[in-house]
Amino acid sequence: MAPINPDQALIHERLQNTLHDLYTALLQTATFDPAGRPSSTTLSTTLATLDDSLRGVHELASSSTHPSPGVPETLVHYVENGRNPDIYTREFVELVRRMNQLMRGKMGGFRQFRDVLGREIEGAMEECRGDVERVMGGRGGGRWRIWGVGGGGGGGWRFVEGGGDLPYQDG
């Protein structure tokens, strides 16, 4: 376990004192005698001490330069149920890795769909070539080059990744 730094030790001590003052106030309230003069004076003194303790803990905790790290509530429940936090960490890393792979696959699929759709729109409607180039350039898409046209080799499209400066070959 990590050593406790002096700030945490002071906060711990103040919290213990505050809990003691709270317990004392509970006892004074339970044994309060409204007719007895010393009882009301003692209770008011105890409540004033409790108020000072709570104020001191609040000031100390809010002025701390090193806030304690936040622990996820799910991890607390996980450990309370007697399980190893290292296993929780490993499961979390595996879950994040799977989610990242899924997201990367989706992004790649949409990227390919964008490129194919742009190529098909451009091939079907020549008047939209400028719009397709503008959209593809603004979204990080590449450009297509027509290859093999007029050479007897059939011809087709070849995608050039990030090739915004490459001109189209018209034949």
Q: Which of 60-64, 97-101, 132-136, 155-159 has the highest mean pLDDT?
A: 97-101
The tokens describing 149, both together, are 């046209």
Q: For 139-157, what is the mean pLDDT? A: 51
Q: Coil, helix or strand for 146?
A: strand
Q: At what angle do helices 73-80 and 85-124 cross, to 10 degrees?
A: 140
Give the per-residue pLDDT at 170: 42
Give the per-residue pLDDT at 28: 86
The tokens describing 43, both together, are 């209770």
Domain boundaries, the chain: 6-65, 85-160
Question: Is pLDDT above 80 for 101?
Answer: yes
| CA-closest candidate to residue 27, choices 16, 43, 6 | 43
| CA-closest candidate to residue 46, choices 61, 30, 26 | 26
63-to-10, 52, 59, 82 alpha-carbon distances in Å: 12, 16, 6, 34
Kind plus residue range of the DSSP H or E element containing 156: strand 156-160
Residues 105, 97: contact at Cβ < 8 Å? no
Give the per-residue pLDDT at 75: 81
Span 7-39, pLDDT tens digits: 778 888 888 999 999 999 888 888 877 777 777
Total Cβ atoms within 10 A of residue 62: 8
- State the Cα–Cα distance between residues 134 and 141, nearest whole angstrom: 10
What does pTM read for this prediction?
Answer: 0.39
In degrees rounded to 5, what are phi and psi of residue 169? -100, 125
